[in-house]
Structure 1
Amino acid sequence: MRRHGRIVFMVTALAHLGIFSGDLPRVLTSDDLSLNGLHIIENGFISSVGKGTYGSYGFPPMPFAVAKAGLIAYARMLARTMAQDPRGLLFAAVCPGYVRTDMTGPYAPLTPDQGAETPVYVALADSKRIRRHNGELWKQLKPLKW
């Protein structure tokens, strides 16, 4: 991989921390979250959905949003654990917003071109400008607190 490569995960605004309860928001944003810890959370969700007990573990009934929240946590974890990698990799989760597509219908407020602005910006922006935001969630051309 070339120096200053980028890994960009597409996510959704549905993946905000408010959809979780109990300790899950704290665990997902912890600087101690490891890949193994993230696998445990994912497997716990899958298992609890099968049993119908996901709510008691702090998960919402929205598998798509849970998966996207996992990608945000993964980007944060990778940015932290790969910080010393000499390739200077940048990891980001990007929410394009609510975009008009065949799936969302004609009432979504953003055109596909508008939805593409932030992912393209994060993928192509000058590394020095966005380096301090490694591992963050982006929306509307700005990093967000997650």
Structure 2
Amino acid sequence: MVTALAHLGIFSGDLPKVLVSDELNLNGLHIIENGFISAVGKGTFSAYGFPPMPFAVAKAGLIAYARMLARVFASDPRGLIFAAVCPGYVRTDMTGPYAPLTPDQGAETPVYVALANDKRLRRHNGGLWKQMRPLKW
């Protein structure tokens, strides 16, 4: 299952292709971020392919960043692993009492990724994780 925040279909134009491109670098991510901020200020975010959800744009940026870092450090001898993690809709002071997950349940995936089998994480280095499983992004 892919949540709305993880689904590239909420973006339009070339933006989904750019976010998953192997050519995307830190400068490209900054351009996307600054473009979103500017477009929101002008009320033109949809014309540039952005959804009207700042949190979703921020989450997409973090996922793209994890993918980019995994690619950049792929040959690093330290064997660094990068992951973006979605804890789910967790009950907090901000989300209120109606979110379906407790904080303990929301912490399961980040803890799993932090402690998971090294081989499984390497196969999905730079990936998005939810409910202790990698998601296609």
TM-score class, shorter-chain normalisation, is over 0.9
Any stretches of 5+ residues in structure 2 without a counterpart?
none
C-alpha distance in 2 between matches for 1:144 and 1:15: 9
Q: Is the CA contact (8 Å cut-off) linking 1:15 and 1:66 kept in structure 2?
A: no
Higher RCO (C-alpha 8 Å, min separation 6): 1
For each residue in 1:4-59, what CA deviation from the matched residue of structure 2 results, as whole angstroms up to 9, or x when unmatched? xxxxxxxx852421221111111101111111111111111111111111110001
What's the offset of the Cα at 1:82? Answer: 0.7
Runs of 4+ in 1 over 6 A off after TM superposition: none
Number of residue pairs aligned between Structure 1 and Structure 2: 135
Q: Is the CA contact (8 Å cut-off) linking 2:4 and 2:10 kept in structure 1?
A: no
C-alpha distance in 2 between matches for 1:93 and 1:21: 22
For each residue in 1:51-107, what CA deviation from the matched residue of structure 2 results, as whole angstroms up to 9, or x when unmatched? 111110001111121111100000001101110011111000000011111111111
Q: Which residue of 1 aligns with 2:33?
A: 42
Aligned-residue identity in percent: 87
Please tell me the residue identity of whatever aligns with 1:93: A
The yes-or-no answer on 1:57 pairing with 2:48 is yes
Q: Alpha carbon RMSD of aligned pairs, Å?
A: 1.3
Aligned mate of 1:97, from 85, 88, 105: 88
Please tell me the residue identity of whatever aligns with 1:133: H
The residue matched to 1:119 in structure 2 has which SS? helix
The residue matched to 1:22 in structure 2 has which SS? coil
The yes-or-no answer on 1:123 pairing with 2:110 is no
The residue matched to 1:75 in structure 2 has which SS? helix
**What is the TM-score when the length of structure 2 is the normalising length?**
0.93
Please tell me the residue identity of whatever aligns with 2:30: H
